Amino acid sequence: CTATLAAAQQSSVTIFGVLDVGMQRIKNGSKSLNLESIDGLQTSRIGFRGQENLGNGLSASFHLEGAIGPDVGAGGDWRRRATVSLASKDAGELRLGRDYTPTFWNISKFNAFGTNGVGAASNLVYGFDGASGTAKTVIRSDNSIGYFLPEGLGGVYGQAMVAAGEGSTGRYVGARIGYAGAGLDVALGVSSTDNTLAGDKFKVINLGGSYSIGPLKLLGLYHVSKQTTREQKNYVFGAHYAVGSGIIRASYVNAHSRNSANGEDYTGKLIALGYVHNLSKRTSLYATASQVDNSKTGRFLIPGGSAIIAGQDSSGLEAGIYHSF
Amino acid sequence: CTATLAAAQQSSVTIFGVLDVGMQRIKNGSKSLNLESIDGLQTSRIGFRGQENLGNGLSASFHLEGAIGPDVGAGGDWRRRATVSLASKDAGELRLGRDYTPTFWNISKFNAFGTNGVGAASNLVYGFDGASGTAKTVIRSDNSIGYFLPEGLGGVYGQAMVAAGEGSTGRYVGARIGYAGAGLDVALGVSSTDNTLAGDKFKVINLGGSYSIGPLKLLGLYHVSKQTTREQKNYVFGAHYAVGSGIIRASYVNAHSRNSANGEDYTGKLIALGYVHNLSKRTSLYATASQVDNSKTGRFLIPGGSAIIAGQDSSGLEAGIYHSF
Amino acid sequence: CTATLAAAQQSSVTIFGVLDVGMQRIKNGSKSLNLESIDGLQTSRIGFRGQENLGNGLSASFHLEGAIGPDVGAGGDWRRRATVSLASKDAGELRLGRDYTPTFWNISKFNAFGTNGVGAASNLVYGFDGASGTAKTVIRSDNSIGYFLPEGLGGVYGQAMVAAGEGSTGRYVGARIGYAGAGLDVALGVSSTDNTLAGDKFKVINLGGSYSIGPLKLLGLYHVSKQTTREQKNYVFGAHYAVGSGIIRASYVNAHSRNSANGEDYTGKLIALGYVHNLSKRTSLYATASQVDNSKTGRFLIPGGSAIIAGQDSSGLEAGIYHSF
């Protein structure tokens, strides 16, 4: 078929990326540390992607994306995403490789600071059980097969993922279903990961949403992580308010841990306030202040500073430059 | 000279690559393992290459190519190939850097599954002496200087390579000479590598060929590896048969090892059958089944699964998506 | 503003790099070693850079550059440079990330062989105190904030850099000021690095210059490194002489070390002679010979060969191909 041949003969690759560098002051307990910080607004990265039209509504595509650490020149892998896809306009997309888990997207999308910088809700969501470990599928999964619903379902979107454990931990099954329309965006995610060789399941369920009215966008997230008797519950509220070519961002994050590694229950709270000034669609300046309060044996913290003792507080201040290409 | 200046002022870089991901089931002995597999049809990779016309039939070029592991997001080096070349239309090409060895190409080109996937002849050719080591020059060599005959020699092609040992193992000398024309392609390769610090030579000689008649292509390879008293002989037969926009592939590989590490002789056999369905020139779906039978102390296997005990059999089944850019 | 929006909608990325491979013979003391050498003329590399016009003389830009080892296919990080910049035509450039230190540039620019190959002055400048360590900021610094004077200051140029120690060694402060015009280029650099956890300062001061008259360019550098009681002084003289499409290069480097690690003073001298033949602006062939003479306990050497005993001499011979894209 002529269309297929023509498509096969043209191959275009898009290079894209982000450099985001700033200065940060983290105070954990009584110890302060000044840092050159990265990724305060978006994670620094470089990537390559492309799509091939196969005709009849079918397409093949690839996406390679790796993190960069511009403070020290780090980089080299494609562990942000490395996938190949076959997609049909009517039937949806089949995607294989290393990719984000469905449950990650609710954490990322439904809090005012995403998963970057001192104000990110992820500072209190990722750290299951305070200082204990977390399943390696909280953000992404190796060895995954994903399916994405096609567009044109009246605002309904969704995805499901399974990932092979390959004889080790990390076997994952999860899904996310949402609706976006008329200023509203709401989604539910669930997942289960084989997190120990004995087969203990790390389970996540989260429900998030956002609603835009004029210059204001409200965001909310409820997130639960469980493994055997341990449990962490988070609720997150936030807002964006557009002023001129900038956005004011505010967030409140609550984390409550039950049956922690040392047997206790504790609570942590994060409040954050920040401003993003857009110099263009590709370039911004930003500043954020954040404070974490721990109760009892809580050891929640803003990462990057000194270690903290249970119950100590943590605060962070950062300002930086974001540039995308 | 005007032509040289014009060439010097234009610099174009081509980005190219492959993403190849699928599912695999490997059964070694009585143990089965399900995997997200990669590189079933071609090795996943990203590369950059370019050429500069220097005038008078002279050109300079570079080639950088590194493997990608899309199942886990691996990547970062250029160990598939990293070379700079000076070439003349009349005198041939001088190539420096890390490159494929001449003897590799006969393994790759003259078997029905190349060196990728569960059906690859390389599964029984690379593994000199069953479970023992192999020279690091079986596929590529560091520190190499290569020479390639120019085109236009009536179908005769050839290359030679020397590589510096730099005070360690790996000093290599090898060559390959072939003829391609009228559906026939046949080539002879020889090499010697200093494989131990005592100077033991790992020697390879191989002779391969293919012949195309209409939709059928027949492939054959005879390959011998030797080091001191150890020896492995392989013979490989295969076929490609084009059907519509696909290719049926079949292969038989025999490996016979003499004076192995534990003093015994043994034989392994691989049979493989597969189908490649081309969605376009750039994108294919494929499936392959393969079976390895070991005699006596043989430990030949399809890589990726559990370890095997001498004499156990190995089988593999895979299906995947190949996409190039 | 229309101009800003237009700029925001176009994103262009430049891919650039160098492949430089050759052969080298290094003789240290009585031991000779043959190597496939790299980076004899310029360091092999790949990079991505781009610039965005923000309007009103403002621009944002990024620069990612990582070394390549084409002899072994090494690569993967961005440790040559990983920066994001905001620049104003009138006020200069603010640059954040991993970058070259100001004091490095005088070493690189004001000797006939730069910092590459057997003839490089850096062979005797980088090695503070002969065989002892050196601050990690001699070439580049992590966690840096740099400022560069704008153009249009009547030939005056300059830069300053501070880098965060982040609770470890490497806190850096340095600056460079120079003048270029009418064939003359001269610059002064100073820096101080916290080089031990006890806070010992590694201090550098250097003054370099070059003067071009017709086909001849003369280069000179005076460089002093100090830490507590240790001190190394270098003076370097060199010349480039253009002949047809090539350049003859010659260099003399003197290094004098006081209060070395083993308490002695010693002197090393390097002489080098070479020729670069330009096939185009992008591609060259080159050859260099170099000799290092050590006095007393001196252990200066041309890197890449065997270890030397104090007082032994070192010599190097190399020829290679340089190709840029």
Other CB atoms within a 10 A radius of the CB of residue B175 amount to 18
CA distance A228 to chain C (A): 39
The Cα–Cα gap between A64 and A99 comes to 10
pLDDT of residue B298: 87
Q: Residue A323: is its pLDDT beyond 80?
A: yes
Phi–psi pair at B262, nearest 5 degrees: -100, 20
Residue from C210, C216, C190 nearest C201 by CA: C190
Q: Residue B130: is its pLDDT beyond 70?
A: no
How many contacts, defined by CB atoms under 8 Å, are there between B and C? 126
Does residue B2 sit in helix, strand or coil? Answer: helix
pLDDT of residue B4: 36
pLDDT tens for residues B5-52? 333 344 689 999 999 999 999 999 999 999 999 999 999 999 999 999
Mutate to test the interface with B, among C16, C39, C323 (most CBs of B within 10 A): C323
Neighbours of chain C (3+ CB pairs under 8 A): A, B
Query: B 76-95 residues with CB below 8 A of C?
Result: 76-84, 86
Q: Which residues of A touch C5 (CB under 8 A)?
A: 280-281
In which band, very low, low, confident or very high, does the pLDDT at A130 lie, cut at 50, 70 and 90?
low
The Cα–Cα gap between B292 and B279 comes to 30
Q: Can you give the length of chain B in residues?
A: 325
Q: What angle do CA A321, A322, A325 make, to 5 degrees?
A: 140
DSSP assigned state of A69: B
Poorest-confidence range of A150-154, A256-260, C39-43, C162-166?
A256-260
| Cβ(C300)–Cβ(C292) below 8 Å | yes
Query: B 95-124 residues with CB below 8 A of A?
Result: none
Query: Chain C contact for B181, CB < 8 A?
Result: no
CA distance C321 to chain B (A): 8
pLDDT tens for residues B257-294? 998 877 888 899 999 999 999 999 999 999 999 999 99
pLDDT of residue B197: 85
pLDDT tens for residues A179-209? 999 999 999 999 999 998 888 999 999 999 9
Contact A11 B282 (CB under 8 A): yes
pLDDT of residue C260: 81
pLDDT of residue B196: 87
**In degrees to the nearest 10, what's the CA dihedral of B295, B301, B307, B312?**
-30
The Cα–Cα gap between A222 and A230 comes to 17
Phi–psi pair at B106, nearest 5 degrees: -70, -35
Percent of chain A with pLDDT strictly greater than 90 = 82
Query: A 6-35 residues with CB below 8 A of C?
Result: 15-17, 19-23, 33-35
Q: Which residues of A touch C97 (CB under 8 A)?
A: 19, 21, 36, 70-71, 73
- Widest Cα–Cα separation across chain C: 70
The Cα–Cα gap between A325 and A42 comes to 12
In this prediction, residues B97-126 reach a mean pLDDT of 96
Chain A residue with the nearest C-alpha to that of B76:
A76
B259: left (phi over 0), alpha (psi -120 to 50) or beta: left
CA distances from A146 to A161, A173, B263 (A): 4, 10, 49
In which band, very low, low, confident or very high, does the pLDDT at B2 lie, cut at 50, 70 and 90?
very low
Beta-carbon contacts of residue A281 (< 8 Å; ≥ 6 apart): C5, C8, C9
Neighbours of chain A (3+ CB pairs under 8 A): B, C
Poorest-confidence range of A63-67, A125-129, C169-173?
A125-129
CA distances from C108 to A313, B133, C180, C202 (A): 47, 45, 16, 19
CA distance A5 to chain B (A): 7
Q: Which residues of B touch A86 (CB under 8 A)?
A: 283, 321
| Cβ(B106)–Cβ(B115) below 8 Å | no
How many contacts, defined by CB atoms under 8 Å, are there between A and C? 125
The Cα–Cα gap between A209 and A238 comes to 11
CA distance A240 to chain B (A): 33
pLDDT tens for residues C244-267? 999 999 999 999 999 887 788 889
In which band, very low, low, confident or very high, does the pLDDT at C11 lie, cut at 50, 70 and 90?
low
In this prediction, residues B74-100 reach a mean pLDDT of 98
Q: Residue A98: is its pLDDT beyond 80?
A: yes
Q: Residue C2: is its pLDDT beyond 60?
A: no
In which band, very low, low, confident or very high, does the pLDDT at C177 lie, cut at 50, 70 and 90?
very high
Q: Structure pTM?
A: 0.95
Its ipTM equals 0.94
DSSP string, C303-322: TTS----TT--EEEEEEEEE
pLDDT of residue A223: 97
Residue from C100, C99, C46, C98 nearest C70 by CA: C46
Q: Residue A80: is its pLDDT beyond 60?
A: yes
DSSP string, C142-177: EEEEEEEPPS-STTEEEEEEEE--TTSS--EEEEEE
Contact B48 C73 (CB under 8 A): no
Q: Residue B176: is its pLDDT beyond 90?
A: yes
Residue from B261, B253, B252 nearest B234 by CA: B253
Mean of the per-residue pLDDT values for chain C? 93
pLDDT of residue A135: 85
